Every structure is written in structure tokens, then in C-alpha cells.
Structure 1
């Protein structure tokens, strides 16, 4: 608790200032107060938690799984082959220069209001940090240690699992922590632009009804979802990297 004391104090000050400012402004359909948002969140708890949260969570999970498979496999492939690295790495970089929010309506045209349009948006946002961080981690392996193992007759597979993979794990988890938070943003963007369910869709629907607190209520859930996913990745990192914690 002491570790996050200053952060919690800062958040409290911001929320307190927001509450006072919103009450003074007196237009909750534009700037709702934090208390008003919490009250509205409680009022909408059933429809949000039972209908829209599962839809958003499905997009996030599927998108993250695809990004993990695609990103890790591509990073290993680029690490093993200079030709693949020269061919794909510039494309990976260039993919992040395209504004995803401009592509989202196209995905709606292609996939309709199904889950796959939102999943593609999520993958485009999340695969980059996983791919680049894992690739950098594989390349950061100690070359002297690899040479020692080679002189001892170790195979390429043994070197990968004994040296390169442990070296890449910290970088991989750093990329995954970024990706899980971005996945929430990707899912919300996809739902905002074209969906019939999900927290992003519900927030947009409340905006058309000039319900300021209703707009913020699903945003609060999205923020909490991102925090929970980040914490889960941190716990998974500690469980799978006990050797690093012990050192």
C-alpha cells in the first residue's frame, strides 16, 4: 500500500477537483461528476456486466492470443533468418504508421458487426510490441555464452532454450504488458466504430442520448479491465521467471 500511496493520493486529488468542477459547471450531460458516474455504473451494472463486458472481453482475448502466436512466431523467424528479417521487419514498422482508426470502418465493411472486425483492429494494435520486444530479447542473448555452448557441442535447439529464450523472456513480458493495455483500446475502438454489443458500443450509444455519466460508466470498466490484465501479466511473469526474482 505504501508503494502506491503517492499515486493514490494524486488520483484522489484529481477526482476531488473533478467532482467540485463538475458540480460548479452544472451540466452533467457534458461533464458528469465522478459520483454521478459511479451511481450510473451501479444502475447499469446488469446490462454492462452481463451483456457488454463479455463481448469486449471476447474480442480482447481472441485478439491477444492471435497477436501472441503471430508476434512470437514472427520474431523467432526473423531472429533465425536475415532474409526474413530484412523482408518483414520494415513491414512491421510500417504497419504502425497506418492510423488504425481509419481502417476500422473498412473492417466493418468486410466483416460486418461480427467479432472478427474488432479482433483485427486489436491485433493490429497489439502485435507490434510483442513482436519487436521478443525479437530484441532474442538478439540480446550473450554471444559469448552461445559460443561456449557451441564449443561444447550444443545444438541450435539447445542454445535457443538454454540461452536465447531466457534472455528474451523479460523483453517478451515487457511487450505483453504494453499489449494487454493496448488491447483494451483496440477493442473499444472497434466497438465504437462498428458493433452491436460491447463496452465501446454502449459508450457510443449513451453519447447519442446525451447521457454523460452513461458514456463514462463503460469507460471505467474498460480502465479496470486494462489494470486487471496488466496485473495478471505481472503475476504470470513472476511465476514463470522465479529464477530472475531469486537473483
Structure 2
């Protein structure tokens, strides 16, 4: 418990320094209030606008979770097939890399044009944004499987399905969750970017409205709300990873090392 607090203390101190610096800049008048509202005003707006933020946030979270779920499914299928068939790996890997070099801000207008202003283009953009880290993580995890364990199972006549189930997939879980953490942080941003370019609800739509009204205190409140959602999603992924891989938990490793000593 004490170790956990001391690990988080530097980050808390750094955050407090940033907030105090922000407060000093806004209160001193060096930066005009309409350009940089005070953190006190932002906090007040955050509280008063909470019903509106929750309403729009619900839509953004739906798009995020649907897109992330489909991205995980697509990444799992693609990585598994590419690991099983070398030809597909050589053919698809460069295309996956190229797909990530295209800016999402350039894809979003096309998706809105093709799919309309509903949830479909937002979910599609989240899928495009999130499947890459997961698929690459899984693929590298499959390729990094223990060769001795693979050879042992093959010598015992195990099928490819059993080898995948008992060696490859469990061994790829750490890489999978590492990619999933990256994708989870990208997912909310992808949904918000898609909402900027068209829609009726969502945090991106609300952000566009308050920006046009020059309500920068509300703008900052939306940004903070997006950060909170992203952090909660990351915490959820870490919790699922901890439950799925109890053997990989840091405290378990610490206990084992202490017993060995």
C-alpha cells in the first residue's frame, strides 16, 4: 500500500504544479481570461454542465465501446490467420502498416460522406484507429511463443488448435493487453474526432458547439471529461488484464522474489 502511494506521489505533485501554474497565469492577467479560463471557472462549469456532459458522453462511450469491441474482434481474427498462414502474413502486414499512415482526420470526412451522420462512421473510425496496436501485439505474441513448448506438444501429437489454446494464446496475452491499453486510449479520441465532422450528439459535437460560442470554460470542461473517460477505460483494461493474467501481476512477482531471497 505504502509503495503504491509513493509510486503515484510524483505524478500527483507534477499535476498540482501544472494546475497551480495554470491558476497563476489566469489570475495574473498575463493570459486573457477568454483565452485561458481559470481552473476554478472550469471546475465550476464542469459541475454545472455535468448533466449535458453525461448525455453527450453516453453517446461517445457507445461509439467507443462498439468500435473497440469490433476492433478487438477484427485484430484477433487477422492476427490469428496471419500467424497460421505465412503467405497472408507477408501480404497483409505491409497493408496494415500503410493503413496507419493515413491521418484519421482525412478518413473521417469520407466515412461521414459514405455512411451518413449516424453512429456508423464513428464506430468505423474507432475500429480503424484501434485494431492496429492489438493485431500487431497479438501477432508478435504468437511469434514469440516458447519454441521448446511448441516442439514438445508437436512431438506428443497435439493438434494446432491445442497448441494455440495452451501455448500461443496464453503466451500472447501480455502483448495483447499492452496493445489494448494503447487502443483504449485512442478509441475515445477516434470517436470524438469523427463527431467533430458531423453528428447530432456526442462530446465531439458538443465541443464544436461551445468552441463556436467561444465558451472556452466549457471547452476545457469537455476536454477534462474526455480525459477522465479515457483514464477510466485504461483502468478497466488493466483490471481485466490483472484478472486474466494473475501470474503476471507485479505484486505476485514481488512476493515470489521475496520468497526466493
In the superposition, the TM-score normalised over structure 1's length comes to 0.96
Q: 1:70 aligns with which of 57, 71, 74?
A: 74
Aligned to 1:107: 111
Which residue number in structure 2 is paired with residue 29 of structure 1? Answer: 34
In structure 2, what is the equivalent of residue 215 of structure 1?
219
Asked if 1:198 is matched to 2:218, the reply is: no
Following the alignment from structure 1 to structure 2, what is the Cα–Cα distance between the partners of residues 202 and 166?
Answer: 42
Deviation at 1:28, TM superposition (A): 2.5
In 2, Cα distance between equivalents of 1:147 and 1:231: 37
Which residue of structure 1 lines up, in the alignment, with residue 62 of structure 2? 58
Select the residue among 124, 135, 152 that pairs with 1:148. Answer: 152
Structure 1 equivalent of residue 258 of structure 2: none
Question: TM-score if structure 2 supplies the norm length?
Answer: 0.91
| Cα distance, 1:98 vs structure 2 | 0.5
CA RMSD of aligned residues (A): 1.1
Residue 44 (structure 1) aligned with residue 34 (structure 2): no
Q: Does 1:136 align with 2:140?
A: yes
Superposed CA offset, 1:17-68 (max 9, x none): 011112223533211121111111111111111x201100011011001100
Q: What are the Cα deviations for residues 74-95 of structure 1, in whole angstroms up to 9, with x where unaligned?
A: 0000000011111211110000
Structure 1 contact 137–171 (Cα < 8 Å) conserved: yes
Alpha-carbon separation, structure 1, partners of 2:208 and 2:6: 38
Count residues with an aligned counterpart.
246
